[in-house]
Amino acid sequence: MEQVTRGRAWCSKDSALCQEEEDVTRLYKTVTFKDVAVDLTQEEWQQMKPAQRNLYRDVMLETYSNLVTVGYQATKPDVIFKLEQEEEPWVLEEEMFWRHSPGE
């Protein structure tokens, strides 16, 4: 029976524990900013109160900062540039559909 290393413990390749650990490992995948970002249309942005806009800005910037802290290295999203410059971060509805289309 083949032995494989899992952390500090040895287990047989066919054991349930090893299989469970491999299954859990496969569940983890890389998270991108797109996965956690909230895109707003111009209409949605305009309907927000100033306090809601400030909260949105703070949460989005903090979320991006947290991803960078854990090693996220992709190009800085346009919405982050806009928020840092205190510009309106909304996107066109067509652009929003393209960003969130299945298969990406």
Whole-model pTM? 0.62
Assign 4 a pLDDT band (cuts: 50, 70, 90).
Answer: very low
Could you read off the pLDDT of 42-54 as tens digits, one per residue?
Answer: 999 999 999 999 9
Tokens read off for 4: 């494989």
Residue 49, by phi and psi: left (phi above 0), alpha (psi -120 to 50) or beta?
A: beta
Tokens read off for 102: 């299945």
Could you read off the pLDDT of 58-103 as tens digits, one per residue?
Answer: 999 999 999 999 888 888 999 999 999 999 988 776 555 455 555 5
Based on the number of CB atoms within 10 Å of its own CB, is 16 exposed (0-12), middle (13-18) or buried (19 or more)?
exposed
Residue 9 contacts residue 20 (beta carbons within 8 Å): no
CA distance 5 to 29: 22
pLDDT for 17 beyond 80:
no
16-20: average pLDDT: 62
